[in-house]
Amino acid sequence: MNHRVEAVESDGVQPLADREFEQIRRLAHRTFGLDLKPGKEELVSARLRRLVRDGGFHTFQDYYKNVVADRTGAALLAMIDALATNHTSFLREADHFEFLRQTVVPVLARRDPVEIWCAACSTGEEVWTLAMVLNEAMPGKRIRITASDISNKALRCAERAAYPVARCQGVPPTWMSRYFVADARPATAYRVTPAIRALAAFRRINLVEPYSWQRPFPVIFCRNVMIYFDSATQEKVVAGLASQLEPGGYLFVGHAESLARVSHSLEYVKPAVYRKPDREGKWSKSS
Ligand SMILES: C[S@@+](CC[C@H](N)C(=O)[O-])C[C@H]1O[C@@H](n2cnc3c(N)ncnc32)[C@H](O)[C@@H]1O
């Protein structure tokens, strides 16, 4: 049987036409930087289909018109939520946390409080990993993690900090007992303890729109989001992040996001770690 016809029959939504894909591609690029290359038609169709159907539309064109016309912005936010990839995990790209512990923590030791921005934090596993690593490395230190994402849905999940058991696999047992509380016996989910939750505050930030902070940060994590942007957008986003870094501050990006093809003012330290030159504009020797 023809699958396209079958799809129309089952939920009454017409298949995504090339013109409709192009409209959605442009809107996603303009509003949140997503670079939907040719070949992503099926992904777009699969991720937006439920919104099209639940909105009572029969075509992606009608759905698109509604998103553009909705002055509340709610329809656009729902579209962004559906199109964005939220995949994340505790201790993801673990060598970054080792580098943080061994090389960056000694530099931060004189700070009070220690402030970090975790941008594009998704559902929070990265934020809580940072909180636990810093708490272990600097016991008793005041730590403030500002975490942000474009997605309100992801931010709500991050702030709640409760994760199904399967998502906690890979978290060291000592951390599980020290920093998580089970919801039941046997557990179906674990929630990060209030003491760790108190170390982070959340804010919605779209990295492709203007934003500002009162003070620059000594450390910014912004991992696995720029991979979805084209080079021009990456360049703009990195410039924004660099402007929010203190001289000598560190930027961590995802390992799949080399900045090699992007023009920027930062020093390469090691794979996926960059540093802003110090106040005299000098590069550091090592780390
Ligand atoms: C794959 S997750 C990365 C999560 C985490 N940083 C990690 O490395 O595991 C990408 C996140 O980027 C967010 N995102 C996508 N576009 C964004 C934008 N323009 N501004 C801010 N966040 C964005 C998505 O909502 C998603 O939560």
- For ligand 1, mutation pick of 127, 150, 205, 229 (most atoms within 8 Å of CB): 150
- pLDDT tens digits, one per residue of 226-258: 999 999 999 999 999 999 999 999 999 999 998
Same domain, 248 and 169: yes
Instruction: Report the pLDDT value the prediction gives residue 279, as an integer from 0 to 100.
Output: 75
> Same domain, yes or no, for 211 and 244?
yes
pLDDT tens digits, residue range 15-39?
999 999 999 999 999 999 999 999 9
Q: Give the ligand 1 atom nearest the CA of 118.
A: 6
Sign of the C-alpha dihedral computed for residues 281, 221, 153 and 178 taken in this order: negative
Q: Is 272 left (phi over 0), alpha (psi -120 to 50) or beta?
A: left
Query: Which alpha helices (H) appear in the chain, and where do they start and end?
Result: 3-11, 18-32, 41-54, 60-69, 74-83, 95-99, 105-108, 125-137, 152-160, 173-179, 194-197, 231-243
Mean pLDDT of 64-73: 98
Residues 52 and 75 in one domain: yes
Integer Cα distance of 134 and 33 in angstroms: 31
Total domains in the fold of the chain: 2
Q: Are strands 267-270 and 273-275 parallel, antiparallel or unpaired?
A: antiparallel
- Are both 251 and 115 inside the same structural domain? yes
* Domain endpoint, select from 44, 62, 83: 83
pLDDT for 287 beyond 50: no
CA of 277 to the centre of ligand 1 (A): 26
Helix axes 74-83, 60-69, angle to 10 degrees: 130
In this prediction, residue 10 carries a pLDDT of 76
Higher pLDDT, 157 or 8: 157
- CA distances 234 to 34, 138, 174, Å, are 10, 33, 38
Domain boundary residue among 83, 116, 133?
83
CATH of the domain at 253: 3.40.50.150
For residues 190 and 162, the answer to whether their CB atoms sit within 8 Å is yes
Domain encompassing residue 135: 95-275
Atom index in ligand 1 nearest the CA of residue 81 equals 25
Q: Is residue 118 part of a domain?
A: yes
Residues 158 and 50 both lie in one domain: no
Residues 138 and 69 in one domain: no
Residue 2 predicted with pLDDT over 70: no
The answer to whether residues 57 and 151 belong to one domain is no
The residue-averaged pLDDT of 40-57 equals: 97
Atom of ligand 1 nearest to the CA of 88: 9
Q: Above 90 in pLDDT, residue 53?
A: yes
> N- to C-terminal Cα distance for the chain?
60
Domain boundary among 25, 52, 83: 83
